[in-house]
Amino acid sequence: MRTQVAIIGAGPAGLLLGQLLARSGIDNIIVEQRSPDYVLGRIRAGILESVTVDALERAGVAARLHDEGLPHDGIELSFNGERHRIDLHALTGRRVTVYGQTEVTRDLMAARQAEGTTTIYEASDVSLHGFDGTRPLVRYRKDGATHEIECDYIAGCDGFHGVSRQSVPVASTRLFERVYPFGWLGILSDTPPVADELIYAGHERGFALCSMRSKARSRYYVQVPSTERAEDWSDARFWDELRSRLDPQAAQSLVTGPSIEKSIAPLRSFVCEPLRFGRLFLAGDAAHIVPPTGAKGLNLAASDVLYLADALAARYQQDDPRELDGYSEKCLRRIWKAERFSWWMTSLLHRFPDADAFSSRIQQAELDFLVSSEAARKALAENYVGLPY
Ligand code: APR
Ligand code: PHB
């Protein structure tokens, strides 16, 4: 087989890239190691920046998002038993949209199928070759046979554990990492959300987040030590813990019900520099991870992919390679700002097991400053709604 761009991974990054390239008339094939159902079964965050919505519009996959997504003009911070609203729209003129990543993925899959573009699911032993020269090659196994795709470029959109980044010689990369000593235990339930907007709660028992997927489906999280196992958390234990971390009004109005999903996600900050190795380009979680506190994971994947799609279009349509040359640097500037914000919001609201009395007071002072200073709230809001491309 031969294509212009071989894309590794059919998560939101790979699927969005495929869609944007197809719209620019650039031929592409996606190679994914899992099945479509497995990909759709992963529950992830659900907040889209307005620039991400713009990118999905450009890809022609925003119809259902506009029908079913919930525009949110603010978020709430909760600490010391009180809630404080951050009016995102008044502070920035922009808003975010609540729409699950699973739904974004579903819309992208449907659009790809409608276009008839090739996606190879359940490909095993995927390997990347020749990207340091002029004739890259992707090899994989499927149905007992080995297959090869010759291409001009490879896009590594295969997530944190993918093969793309691991195919690059260690000496050519610089890795930056911070692993946090806790995770988020999350549940999904068909119960009405506790409030109209998201509540980010800092509490001495640990962080909690009240989010949603729709007016009838809630997504809640509590911070737990990294050693915790989801199996040890009954629904009743989860609801009690969540309630104990909320302000009295939210605790009282919380509607509980059976969980339809329950899992623990570790928290990590990670960046791989650079994002380009010859004819291989990394995008999304393959290149960077943020802790979920700022809801930046999917949004960052979308901005990488938009830059890459534009750079490939310039290369194919005007024979201009300059944007591809600048891809890594351009992405990294936005990535590091989102890394900073996600790290900051995580530090602001979580309990750190090794925190001493001094750091606890600093955390309190920072929260106090935030609710008393419009400048501080504006800085949060500007980052939360998403920095411009
Ligand atoms: N070969 C082929 N496909 C692979 C391989 C491999 N060796 N390894 C992983 N994959 C696939 C995974 O099965 C997955 O479907 O690559 C895809 C990567 O998807 P994601 O992990 O969702 O990453 P990305 O598309 O970059 O999306 C970023 O996802 O994790 C969240 O917070 C993150 O919201 C952000 C978004
Ligand atoms: C979610 O709805 O899953 C969600 C929302 C906001 C976050 C993280 C996750 O910051």
Looking at all shown ligands, the one closest to residue 341's CA atom is 2
- For 217-243, the pLDDT digits (tens) are 999 999 999 999 999 999 999 999 999
Catalytic residue at 296? yes
Query: Residue 28 C-alpha to ligand 1 middle, in angstroms?
Result: 17
Mean pLDDT of 169-192: 97
Q: Provide CATH code, domain 5-72+95-176+268-345.
A: 3.50.50.60
Evaluate if residue 45 carries a pLDDT over 90.
Answer: no
- For 260-311, the pLDDT digits (tens) are 999 999 999 999 999 999 999 999 999 999 999 999 999 999 999 999 999 9
Percent of the chain's residues with pLDDT above 90:
98
Residue 178's pLDDT band (boundaries 50, 70, 90)? Answer: very high
> Which of 33, 35, 139, 290, when mutated, tests ligand 1's pocket best, judged by the most ligand atoms within 8 Å of its CB?
33
Res 44: pLDDT: 85
Mean pLDDT of 116-126: 97
Query: Residue 317 C-alpha to ligand 2 middle, in angstroms?
Result: 38
**How many whole angstroms separate alpha carbon 210 and alpha carbon 246?**
9
Cα 106 → chain centroid: 15
Residue 365, C-beta contacts closer than 8 angstroms, at least 6 positions apart = none
Residue 34, C-beta contacts closer than 8 angstroms, at least 6 positions apart = 10, 121, 122
Residue 42's pLDDT band (boundaries 50, 70, 90)? Answer: confident
What one-letter code names the amino acid at 48?
A: L
For residue 230, what are the CA distances in angstroms to 190, 263, 266? 19, 6, 12
- For 299-332, the pLDDT digits (tens) are 999 999 999 999 999 999 999 999 999 999 999 9
Average per-residue pLDDT for the chain: 97
Res 43: pLDDT: 82
**How many whole angstroms separate alpha carbon 233 and alpha carbon 235?**
6
- CATH 3.30.9.10 range(s) for the chain read 180-266+351-385
350: nearest Cα among 256, 253, 224: 224
Whether ligand 1 lies within 6 angstroms of the CB of 193 is answered as: no
Query: What region does 159 belong to: left with phi over 0, alpha with psi -120 to 50, or beta?
Result: left
In the block, residue with structure tokens 């960077």 = 288
Evaluate if residue 379 carries a pLDDT over 90.
Answer: yes
- CATH 3.50.50.60 range(s) for the chain read 5-72+95-176+268-345
Query: Residue 389 C-alpha to ligand 2 middle, in angstroms?
Result: 22
154: nearest Cα among 308, 300, 272, 298: 308
| Cβ-count burial 351-363 (b if 16+ within 10 Å, e if not) | beeeeeeeeeeeb
- For 190-222, the pLDDT digits (tens) are 999 999 999 999 999 999 999 999 999 999 999
> Which residues contact ligand 2 via a Cβ below 6 A?
45-47, 198, 209, 211, 219, 292-293, 295
pTM of this structure: 0.97
**How many whole angstroms separate alpha carbon 101 and alpha carbon 351?**
27
Q: Provide CATH code, domain 180-266+351-385.
A: 3.30.9.10
Res 249: pLDDT: 97
User: Which residue lies with its CA nearest to atom 3 of ligand 2?
Assistant: 45
- For 133-146, the pLDDT digits (tens) are 999 999 999 999 99
SS (H, E, C) the chain: CECCEEEECCCHHHHHHHHHHHHCCCCEEEECCCCHHHHHHCCCCCEECHHHHHHHHHCCCCHHHHHHCEEECCEEEEECCEEEEECHHHHHCCCEEECCHHHHHHHHHHHHHHHCCCEECCCEEEEEECCCCCCCEEEEEECCEEEEEECCEEEECCCCCCHHHHCCCHHHCEEEEEEEEEEEEEEEECCCCCCCCCEEECCCCCCEEEEECCCCCEEEEEEEECCCCHHHCCHHHHHHHHHHHCCHHHHHHCCCCCEEEEEEEEEEEEEEECCEECCEEECHHHCEECCHHHCCHHHHHHHHHHHHHHHHHHHHHCCCCHHHHHHHHHHHHHHHHHHHHHHHHHHHHCCCCCCCHHHHHHHHHHHHHHHHCHHHHHHHHHHHHCCCC
Query: Residue 76 C-alpha to ligand 2 middle, in angstroms?
Result: 13
Catalytic residue at 378? no
